[in-house]
Chains A and B, each alone.
Chain A
């Protein structure tokens, strides 16, 4: 995490600047495809998936206004109350881009919706190898989601990749515990 600021590429800058604003207001995690890419998977993603802790309308308004002040723009609406009520509070994601350079990259932001998301937020970590100063969900939860819930070819390959690069450091018990929660809370099994 000791890169010089001017060494940052377009994506480093976008996600670190976005995360810095989030950090001032709430707990967040970056999940899914970008976690695999940050772990060396050579594939592309269209967006950066972010989960934030569920906020009150007032607290979200403060976060939203700070994001706007910091140069980001919400694609769904410029009205924080509408974004909160019509999207985030209905468990629908919203997207933020740079105001100056509105495409791409893009962050897809959603509220934590259940115990499983809260567990991921509580177990969040920074990953020094990525040299990105942002909070990620754990490798274990990414593997569990990709193998048990998402399951596309791309997700299974991501999980395989994470298992290989993190060999010897993965907590299998934790993966199984998250998979059980996924079955219970997301798949109703």
Chain B
């Protein structure tokens, strides 16, 4: 979905950040709203028979992803040391 209008938006927002003091507040409301919507979904999911199991699987998946990212970073650091 990336085209010219996306780059225009980045430039517009950067300009706004440079010229307006309230940008953090605007961004905070926007980001918080996204997390609120995500949390609302979990509340609904939890009410279903399989909901708790799905939430458990999601947590497991998050942990696996975090471990694999840490492994990648450690490996990169070992390779960097070796190459020196």
Contact = CB atoms under 8 A, between A and B. Distances in A.
Interface of A: 9-12, 31-32, 37-47, 49, 75-76, 87, 92-95, 101, 103-106, 108, 110, 128-132, 157, 160-161, 164-165, 167-168
Interface string B1-31: 1011110110011001000000000110111
Contacts of A12: 33, 37
Q: How large is the interface on B (under 10, 10 to 19, 20 to 34, 35 or more residues)?
A: 20 to 34
Nearest to A127: B41
B35 A42 contact: yes
B50 A164 contact: no
B57 A105 contact: no
B33 A103 contact: no
17 contacts: A11-B34, A11-B37, A32-B1, A39-B41, A41-B38, A44-B30, A92-B4, A93-B3, A95-B9, A101-B26, A104-B30, A105-B33, A110-B1, A129-B45, A157-B65, A164-B54, A164-B58
A44 B12 CA distance: 18
Given A104-B26, A108-B5, A160-B61, A165 B45 contact: yes
A40 B42 contact: yes
B34 A108 contact: no
Given A12-B33, A164-B58, A75 B40 contact: no
Given A132-B37, A164-B57, A165-B58, A103 B13 contact: yes
Contacts of B30: 10-11, 44, 104-105
The majority secondary structure among interface residues of chain B is helix
B38 A40 contact: yes
Contact of B44 (A103, A105, A131): A131
Contact of B32 (A9, A31, A43, A161): A9
Nearest to B36: A9
A75 B5 contact: yes
A106 B9 contact: yes
Contacts of B3: 92-93
* Most central of B27, B34, B35 by chain A CB within 10 Å: B34
Given A43-B34, A101-B26, A157-B65, 16 more contacts: A9-B29, A9-B36, A12-B33, A38-B38, A39-B38, A41-B38, A44-B34, A92-B3, A95-B5, A104-B26, A104-B30, A105-B30, A108-B9, A130-B40, A160-B61, A168-B50
